[in-house]
């Protein structure tokens, strides 16, 4: 494996392999519970596998640490139920939201931190790299939909 992973100025994960740079990639475990250190895919923003890692133990330390950090963030994913406040139109914007784990406040660096993952699925990545999922935007209340529409 001769690739590296780095963050760009938008905090997106970038795979660098020779002269190739693939932006907005993420690691995904095939067997997160039974074999968490093996069989990991690096996928693009559409979920297509672009690299396969047989074992994290075979990776260079710097790349392995990035992958482990990303997997830890990926596996802590609160579901956003509603937007409580009316975030500012300026960046960064402070959001107060209700999630399946309670009410929290986070900072959104830019509209690039809101990603459409399907026709109704959206993920939001805050300034600390914590991802919030909205599995179905049709289930949001009117206020939350209006706030989200500003950022999509």
Residues 70-95 pLDDT 10s: 898 778 889 999 999 988 888 899 99
The mean pLDDT value of the chain amounts to 91
Q: What is the pTM of this model?
A: 0.59
Q: Is 47 helix (H, G, I), strand (E, B) or coil?
A: coil
Task: For residues 119-147, give the mean pLDDT.
Answer: 93
pLDDT of residue 1: 61
Task: For residues 100-109, give the mean pLDDT.
Answer: 94
Query: Assign residue 81 a region: left if phi > 0, alpha if psi is -120 to 50, beta otherwise?
Result: alpha
The pLDDT tens digits for 49-73 are 999 999 999 999 999 999 998 898 7
Q: Can you read off the two tokens belonging to residue 137?
A: 């935007």
pLDDT of residue 151: 86
CA distances from 52 to 27, 44, 49 (A): 9, 12, 7
pLDDT of residue 45: 86
Neighbouring-strand partners of residue 102: 99
């Amino acid at each position: 494996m001769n690739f590296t992973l780095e963050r760009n100025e938008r905090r997106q994960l970038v795979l660098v392999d020779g002269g190739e740079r693939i932006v907005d990639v993420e690691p995904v475990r095939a067997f997160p519970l039974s074999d968490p250190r093996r069989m990991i895919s690096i996928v693009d923003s559409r979920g297509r596998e672009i690299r396969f890692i047989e074992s994290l133990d075979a990776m260079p330390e710097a790349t392995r640490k990035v992958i482990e950090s990303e997997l830890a963030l990926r596996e802590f994913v609160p579901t956003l139920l509603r937007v409580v406040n009316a975030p500012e139109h300026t960046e960064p914007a402070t959001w107060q939201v209700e999630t399946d784990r309670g009410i929290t406040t986070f900072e959104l660096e830019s509209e690039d931190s809101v990603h459409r993952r399907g026709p109704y699925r959206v993920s939001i990545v805050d300034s600390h790299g914590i991802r919030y999922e909205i599995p179905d935007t049709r289930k949001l209340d009117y206020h939350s939909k209006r706030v989200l529409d500003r950022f999509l």
